[in-house]
Structure 1
């Protein structure tokens, strides 16, 4: 998918990314044969029981992975450990996905991490897995969580048996795919009596390469653009958390997070071919070349103040947060359309578009959470949140058009200014209440609701369309939640969850800016995009805390996505075809999935594997033929297609020696072709292999990603009227990373409380 920075034509449209090991088919053949052996092992000693029993289980509204009882935590980072978890996967070593979910939010000790995406990845990659007690995967979050759409939650529970002192981690890594990349980080934790300090600093540089083939056509006109995108990046950032225990019942904490990115000299170089046919015969061929140079930088700073008061010995508490978020992005691009000229060297500039696209975001937020625990396993929770956000987008577009005579002499130049100053103000008020009750050792339930009021106003100082001048929205939403868990017996467990959520547009999606890709290919953001609604249902069956079956259904209304619209037009007596990717609400969508899996350890801990296999059925229903930002009429684009896809996921860790110092990892994922908003996404798969060596406080790791070079995105769509659109995007996922990690100091240092910031829900919409 094309975004506002890197023009990624597809990334956000892959609804599910899964991971599978190619050898997992072989490993799972031992499942039932080894189960009998494992049962006999359990009777030999108490120590072995703690390793194999209930490492993975279902509790109430979440899956729980007991890291302390797992053999794979030794020598791993938190990020490496999460990749071993059932239902979790990563395809880029940066983002984590929960099977069947759009996104995975990271919580620590029940609170959302107050970090941007880049800082969070570094935090997870530099936190030793030995500090973790357990990991919870909440596939359908309750009303108390501020999540959007079908997002899931990964909650990391840290160990509490820790003492005063200092500890830290240093990590260096070097990666190679098309280009070389390097990364370094340093983190330290300090605790003395009532004071705890945690900080981290990391930075690096890399070039994100992409190769594109873009084809589209309508009637007798066809376009093809072939070329490369290189996006250099330099990053630096970190966080500082200070936690002070006021007394036995109350804590005060201050956290600050900062991240900066510089992407200068990002280039797009595409050769464009326009062909015209008549009755199947080629009439004409015209060539142009697109050269785009972009300089961009962004800064993300946030500060959060937290107060927590413990109310009783049962766990009742009051939690209050106040936060401020400041986000700045500056983007300057120079897009040229080059003509071949008499020498066919593409030295003549036909059109040049200069774009200056800054974005400033300021947010003030506050949250209050009250949790009251009663005897007899009953919990009542209530709370609220407030978010006030202002975005300022002062876009400047200048277009230069050039004309030449037959000997390539410049005849004249035309200049057109197109400024657009768009300001967006948004206020969100939210209240929630939940009731949770354990009725017996077998049955527990949870019910709640969230009520949200959203008020927004978008204004433009110099809008050409009257409807741009003031866009006002006010809407209210009641979002119910229900779940129950029934332990049929010691071996069988059944649970059900229902949740309703909203998906608000990101702030960059609302900024009515046009990003030029080629002369006839662009993306258009949309200030009229409204919030989408999502309804999730999930039924889970688990057997012996190792085998599970998950049935899921999600209904999306007013889906926020990009829609490819085409039209033909005449320019200089030449018929051309234009392709616009319009950001808008696009009908409804249903996703239904059934997934069966296993998480188990075999051969006395030498092999730890999780394996999932299932099907996903997508039903799309959307139609569009007008750009809502301009009223321009295009050919009708319709997506009312159904598709059923096979999905397989597994991760495996093989211990190679008795000392638990050498480990081999082999991962492989496969997802069959499936219908998405842009068209038919062809099948994807990737084989990843890793080798790791732990030596005292040192860890050496070599990771090889996409060994078979099969993780390449291809989308194809053909409409009933003959219009077609084809995208091939190679992001050079095949590569290798070598890393060295050193852990120093007192490994039992008590971690500083990780505080959920009041602005976290807003921060996710800046990206």
Structure 2
């Protein structure tokens, strides 16, 4: 559901963080590995390298499967990839960021044979030349070279059974002839995302409880087209277009609300019941075009790369929220309040990048470049409500047209030097200028009519790598980054959950700053220790605020989830891991165990958008958590045609911005059969049904808040993949879209 899904967006601040931690033990950083005559895992300067071509688990797998097998890389939902300690994992292909949207990218990875991959590079602390935010990491997939001309492709069909059944299909084709390469994909599917919520809040005098399901039906259709033409031996021109459409009509939230009122002595005074029903219709369209030119300037690898891109994103959404009087049997006894909302969003972005890399014979490299992004978002929100308990003949109308213009200029310089076979280093810095103006034609307060922001940031970077000998390697990296708010976070719209619960976005949210440090030690290409420290300033998150309100002479407890900058936090982790093959490569295992320490420091009692005063919310707490994750692949026969997968993660309870996130774990199983050009796979996730989110918080002032979210992660997926044509066809040169950083902020 696309409404701030019942707080779903909220604790995903924490839950995503938790998933980082689970995947923290698994993610991509790269370590070293399998005991073969050739190193499968190794450390190179500012990145970790996994040699897929030399791995015993590559055959018969897809690219997505191999990524999940890479140490410190994981997927807890079979849709997204996480890198240890990172907010997000950006996918690069042959050194260029993929310009596909998230859905298309997943299908691309799931339909690309692992045999086409040479290696996977994991950059946990990206250098100044990379446009990343916060503590994002990069996964660079390097495809094999020297492949012959011809046509190849694959078809994939899958069916999943979780709470509801879903299906998906895709078709991909690659063509290369001499200087021309074409790569295309078409995929689509439909599913119903199901969730169950239990929400509780209040104090000693008032207790609210809301329980009920969320049903979000989705139909998706999208694809991409990439054309690459080699102008001559030194230059290439490429054009990329990708599109994705989503239709989600009939999304529902149905909550049964119970209100308990207590006397001063603690005895129950009164109980009230109500029903909240929300019906939402939404559709979205995402189209982007990117033009790339690459020029090689010498034989050492020096080159110029220029990109220009245009992105158009449209989302149309309307919802009807009704509150009904009810009884203990959940009967509908008449409407109390009706709220109608339209919350559309249109984003137009033009962006460009230019990068030049100069290499010298003495192993010295200079990189310089810049980028420009111009974005305009248009949010014409309509809001109407009728309160049948006070004035059923009066319709309250609160329209608001919010327009946001943003211009970002970025420049960087990076110097890299290999001083010897053992020691190398890299130093650089980015300088970013951000200018933005947000205007509102019907603002709640005068301060919201025009919000202007101008700020500059210097973002330094340093990495050092020392190979003590062939068995021992140590490296250190430091970076500073910004995290800009998503465009939807800035739109000052209120989304109604129940009569007394809502979420509030905030146009005053400013960019947060992140400072990352990482120390890594590796032994014999199989064992590793990673120490990490991240400091976040002005954290962007959603905070639960409560206050007493009086309605018809009765005191209620209102709960609002406010989007804002909430203090600072620190994350510290120590991780020990192993990646190794046993029993003549019949068993390949990744095992990671670590400790995560969180320090939260934030306080809030005012909604920055409306100025309303709430009870003070404090989160000045610490927690230490255990994290375990293991991925195992067992080859069942000599012919390498049957494979069994056993994956498990455990995340101990930890303190996040919303309170105490209770422990999470999941056991996933898979079996795969490779038969000629066919691959049959069955994946079962969350076998023990233990991957359920629970957050609990107690405040010193007596306020209590509890969230339980069950996303029905236990289920299975059966897939059939058929590869056809010349499987040695060279893939089209994938180009980084200059608008990728902007697209990520639309989601």
Question: Aligning the two structures, in what range does the TM-score lie when normalised by the shorter sequence?
Answer: over 0.9
Question: Any residues of structure 2 matched to 1:712-731 within 5 Å, and which?
Answer: 712-731=692-711
The offset of 1:161, in angstroms, is 2.5
- Residue 369 (1) aligns with residue 364 (2): no
Among 251, 260, 266, which residue is 1:275 paired with?
260
Q: Partner residue of 1:4?
A: 4
Q: Decide whether the 8 Å contact of 1:687 with 1:705 is kept in 2.
A: yes
Q: Decide whether the 8 Å contact of 1:20 with 1:668 is kept in 2.
A: no
In the superposition, the TM-score normalised over structure 1's length comes to 0.94
Among 151, 159, 175, which residue is 1:166 paired with?
151
Q: Decide whether the 8 Å contact of 1:16 with 1:100 is kept in 2.
A: no
Question: Any residues of structure 2 matched to 1:24-423 within 5 Å, and which?
Answer: 49=37, 53-278=38-263, 279-340=265-326, 345-403=331-389, 412-423=392-403
Q: Partner residue of 2:30?
A: none
After superposition, give the CA deviation of every residue in 1:257-304 in whole Å (9 maximum; x if it has no partner): 100000000000100001110111000000000000000010000000
The offset of 1:13, in angstroms, is 1.9
Structure-2 separation of matches of 1:340 and 1:311: 74
Structure-2 separation of matches of 1:351 and 1:273: 16
The offset of 1:322, in angstroms, is 0.4
Q: Partner residue of 2:29?
A: none
After superposition, give the CA deviation of every residue in 1:512-545 in whole Å (9 maximum; x if it has no partner): 0011110111110000000000000000000011
After superposition, give the CA deviation of every residue in 1:410-441 in whole Å (9 maximum; x if it has no partner): x8432100000000000000000000000000
SS in 2 for 1:114: coil
Q: Decide whether the 8 Å contact of 1:385 with 1:430 is kept in 2.
A: yes
Unaligned 5+ segments in structure 1 are 25-34, 40-47, 405-410
Mean Cα displacement is larger for which, 462-471 or 618-627? Answer: 462-471
Q: Partner residue of 1:595?
A: 575
Structure-2 separation of matches of 1:662 and 1:483: 42
Question: Any residues of structure 2 matched to 1:362-761 within 5 Å, and which?
Answer: 362-403=348-389, 412-761=392-741
Q: Decide whether the 8 Å contact of 1:308 with 1:320 is kept in 2.
A: yes
Structure-2 separation of matches of 1:222 and 1:344: 18
Q: Decide whether the 8 Å contact of 1:514 with 1:524 is kept in 2.
A: yes
Structure-2 separation of matches of 1:11 and 1:2: 14
Mean Cα displacement is larger for which, 1-10 or 70-79? Answer: 1-10
SS in 1 for 2:399: strand
Structure-2 separation of matches of 1:547 and 1:342: 58
The offset of 1:347, in angstroms, is 3.9
Q: Decide whether the 8 Å contact of 2:41 with 2:50 is kept in 1.
A: yes
SS in 2 for 1:640: strand
SS in 1 for 2:447: helix
Structure-1 separation of matches of 2:453 and 2:80: 33
SS in 1 for 2:469: coil
CA RMSD of aligned residues (A): 1.6
Q: Partner residue of 1:17?
A: 19
Change (3 A) 1:341 1:544: closer
SS in 2 for 1:81: helix
SS in 2 for 1:413: coil
In the superposition, the TM-score normalised over structure 2's length comes to 0.97
Change (3 A) 1:169 1:571: same
Structure-2 separation of matches of 1:329 and 1:261: 9
After superposition, give the CA deviation of every residue in 1:48-68 in whole Å (9 maximum; x if it has no partner): 62xxx3101111111110000
Give the paired residue count. Answer: 736
Change (3 A) 1:596 1:124: same
Q: Decide whether the 8 Å contact of 2:274 with 2:327 is kept in 1.
A: no
Mean Cα displacement is larger for which, 566-575 or 8-17? Answer: 8-17
SS in 2 for 1:464: coil
Structure-1 separation of matches of 2:585 and 2:269: 68
Structure-2 separation of matches of 1:194 and 1:614: 49
Change (3 A) 1:344 1:258: closer
